[in-house]
Structure 1
Amino acid sequence: AAGKGTRVRPITHTIPKPMIPILQKPVMEFLLELLRQHGFTEVMVNVSHLAHEIENYFRDGQRFGVEIAYSFEGRIEDGQLIGEAMGSAGGLKKIQNFQPFFDDTFVVLCGDALIDLNLSEAVRRHRQKGAMASMVTKRVPREQVSSYGVVVTDGEGRVKAFQEKPSIEDALSDTINTGIYIFEPEIFEYIPNEISYDIGADLFPKLVEEGVPFYALPMEFEWVDIGKVPDYWQAIRAVLQGEVRQVTIPGKQVRPGIYTGLNVAANWDKIQVEGPVYVGGMTKIEDGVSIIGPAMIGPSCHICAGATIDNSIIFDYSRIGAGVRLVEKLVFGRYCVDRSGDHIDVQEAS
């Protein structure tokens, strides 16, 4: 949970990626629920970018049924926290060097994906193979491989080659790394101290080179990656259309496909609306507004008369002026973002 989330900017200017909301609930909260469901109750969170946002929300984990501690990826200088990238493996090594926390088989998750993986089964298969390291894998369309680590295995599932985000032309397979790992404590013998060291780019190629028992675990599960703005866009659309099993649309259904939070001020007889649509609590929608789903309007928003919200996502505390037409846009604070990730700063533009 330490990355800067550069590919999800401008959202991550003020929200760390694990805190990006899926219908008002942070991505990381879904992950904690999954961990608890499978008996993982001790959780170490590696933080850096906007660490306080994560720590202030989850605190010690008690209200989520788990126990949480935090490791800051960086240093303290003159009383200030200064983030310093250590890489995903380097962050793990820092935790272990502080006080050996990982004394048994452990799972590593990235904080930017919705998953419904059977973690218990994944750990069982990892142990059955006698693996020191395992990664959960999936197959993707060939045109998507350049966004992920590509995995090549032998007939028994042992990893024989690993490519970190190769070009489509150079990719050796269409099986990719999902960012879900299972390790034994002995893995720390292969991670150097006090240098930036990445799991995908550095550790995995080393394990392949040295012949360590390193396996891929192909598993069928729902995996909604939120690594880039288009991914987030697609995730919200999928949730609203009921395609993501682990996410229930909150609030009450006021009309077929139209869900609202508490105390929404709207005369639905004077608003043109086509679902699926979610409107957060304490939002005001004036007469003459047109909302075409899939669309999400966050809490405490004000949508003025004659505005059109068409296949768009509006974050909380946003005001959409009279007659404004938003088509396939994401409105977040002072930014208006299209589905490709291109954006304008509305304050600067004005």
Structure 2
Amino acid sequence: MKALVLSGGAGTRLRPITHTSAKQLVPVANKPVLFYGLEAIAEAGITEVGIVVGDTADEIREAVGDGSRFGVEITYIAQHAPLGLAHAVLISREFLGEDDFVMYLGDNFIVGGITGLVDGFRASRPAAQILLTQVPNPTAFGVAELDDSGRVVALEEKPKVPKSDLALVGVYLFTAAVHEAVRAIEPSWRGELEITHAIQWLMDKNHDVSSTTISGYWKDTGNVTDMLEVNRAVLESIEPCTQGSVDEASEIIGRVRVEEGAQVVRSRIVGPAIIGAGSVISDAYVGPYTSVSEGCRIEDSEIEYSIVLRDSSITGVRRVEASLIGRGVEVTPAPRHPAAHRLVLGDHSKVQISS
């Protein structure tokens, strides 16, 4: 069995971070989201992995390499434009051959991995197996309609009027039957070859399509809110460890990981939190659910429920929370000018100004 990992999307919902970085490489608990998926694939006993890459191909290649660090062998597959999940399968035909495969969206996160799912698929081998989960906003996802017996009867991509609240999770399992399906379908109104249409084609041709509804933790990390929530979930399970230095004037509370070369000086850190290698926390407060990457500096500031990417600094800022801060960023107080407001307002405007 092989794996096909999709890492070619533009990540528009995470801009401006993704103007300069692949969305699959934004770190969660100081490890790129993509790495969690590759580790889950390796744990399931799959060693041949194809990664579909687009405009950020060089960055993905540099981060992942040949896959040896994960115990897998990587083949890179170029996709000239993000033309849909089924298009990714279509262009990967040579790599996939006639083998069964798992398709894993590189920006998705599933707690607990996929080993049980893969083992179940290997035993029953339907033409396709999908994962479903209840979501509050099904219009943003592919949605499945089930009959009274719980069997999938229809799929629809981002419907305006959803027939259920069951969204497709970004992990799919297929036999080689899917190759005929992706060749048979036409682009959707979005101009993409939709994987939901390919699976619907399989059902229309009486192929066996099974589904599993999961109640565990799953997130599509395509926006800042979900990225911070995944970071929170991962930090919940970290083990406390101090490899760097913490002076006597500092206080460490709860599950906190201070990585090698990091320094904590006259500061208070309340976990779960992680301080990356070589970072300096000085006269500061780092609150729960915060990941500080390597080479950062937080001084005379407070931060909580946030992700700070490498080589960034936050100095003299009273409070930062629920934030995603990119690489090489400098956050400082605004200059102190006389308190005044300069306004250019159109007719019938309403303005609220705090006193």
Aligned residues: 314
Give the Å deviation of 1:46.
0.6
Equivalent residue, structure 2, for 1:293: 288
Give the Å deviation of 1:157.
4.6
1:111 and 1:46 mapped to 2: Cα distance? 9
1:228 and 1:251 mapped to 2: Cα distance? 31
| Long gaps (5+) in structure 1 | 75-83, 338-350
Structure 1 window deviating more from structure 2 (104-113 vs 20-29): it is 20-29
TM-score, normalized by length of structure 2?
0.78
2:316 and 2:113 mapped to 1: Cα distance? 48
Q: CA RMSD in A?
A: 2.8
| Letter matched to residue 220 of structure 2 | D
Give the Å deviation of 1:118.
6.0
TM-score, normalized by length of structure 1?
0.79
Equivalent residue, structure 2, for 1:22: 28
Match of 1:150 among 143, 166, 170: 143
Cα pair distance change 1:25/1:48, threshold 3 Å: same
Equivalent residue, structure 2, for 1:341: none
Equivalent residue, structure 1, for 2:213: 218
Cα pair distance change 1:183/1:250, threshold 3 Å: farther
Give the Å deviation of 1:161.
1.3
Equivalent residue, structure 1, for 2:339: none
Corresponding position: 1:11 with 2:17:
yes
| Long gaps (5+) in structure 2 | 1-6, 247-251, 332-355
Corresponding position: 1:280 with 2:286:
no
Cα pair distance change 1:234/1:67, threshold 3 Å: same
Which structure 2 residues correspond to residues 261-340 of structure 1 after superposition, within 5 A?
261-267=259-265, 270-287=266-283, 289-304=284-299, 306-333=300-327
Equivalent residue, structure 1, for 2:154: 161
Paired residues of 2:27 and 2:309 also in contact (CA < 8 A): no
Match of 1:45 among 51, 64, 69: 51
Give the Å deviation of 1:236.
1.2
Give the Å deviation of 1:173.
1.5
Match of 2:90 among 93, 112, 117: 93
Corresponding position: 1:55 with 2:48:
no
Q: Secondary structure at the match of 2:177?
A: helix
Q: Secondary structure at the match of 1:69?
A: strand
Q: Deviations over 1:85-117 (max 9, x none)?
A: 232111211121xx3633222111111122245
Paired residues of 1:240 and 1:249 also in contact (CA < 8 A): no
Cα pair distance change 1:126/1:153, threshold 3 Å: farther
Paired residues of 2:102 and 2:173 also in contact (CA < 8 A): yes
| Letter matched to residue 309 of structure 2 | F
Q: Deviations over 1:3-55 (max 9, x none)?
A: 11111222222221221212221222221221111211100111103111111
2:178 and 2:122 mapped to 1: Cα distance? 14
Q: Secondary structure at the match of 1:31?
A: helix
Paired residues of 2:312 and 2:330 also in contact (CA < 8 A): no
Give the Å deviation of 1:207.
3.2
Give the Å deviation of 1:227.
2.1
Give the Å deviation of 1:230.
0.6
Cα pair distance change 1:104/1:200, threshold 3 Å: closer
